[in-house]
Amino acid sequence: MRNAHDTVKAYFDALIAGDAETLVAMMLPAVYYVKIGTDTDEVVEGSAGLATYYQNHVASTEDFSIKFINLDIQERDAVAWFYTRQVWRLKWQGTPEEFVMRMTGVLEKTDESWKFAQIHASIGVSTTED
């Protein structure tokens, strides 16, 4: 079984690779799962909408790279949490973008692996001037 640190790193690897199937498999199939993104209506509550969410996300993203500013992952018994700040460079729906992404999340240990129970993302200060 992967530890929580390796699971979080694998999440970002799958995100960059555009691997929606792996991303969905890493999420906890539970009614209390929550993913909050940066857009006004970007909220997934419960696991039923995960496949559609991640398929749309990866289909809208090209030339994706992530540079970690920091990454802190803590693990205690059956619960883990993370905080990261990153610089994201990508084409989102065809438009080049660069910004600082701030993310937090909670993972739950199941019998077979660590799964994400909650992820929250927000955009920090722009890395380029307008």
Residue 46's region, left for phi above 0, alpha for psi from -120 to 50, else beta, is left
Query: For the CA atoms of the chain, what is the radius of gyration?
Result: 14
Ordered by where they begin, the domains of the chain are: 4-126 (3.10.450.50)
Q: Residue 33: helix, strand or coil by DSSP? A: coil
Cα atoms in the 13 Å half-sphere on the side-chain side of 25:
9
pLDDT (0 to 100) of residue 128: 56
pLDDT (0 to 100) of residue 86: 97
The string of pLDDT tens digits covering residues 43-94 is 999 999 999 999 999 999 999 999 999 999 999 999 999 999 999 999 988 8
Higher pLDDT, 125 or 70: 70
How much is the pTM?
Answer: 0.91
Average pLDDT over residues 21-43: 95
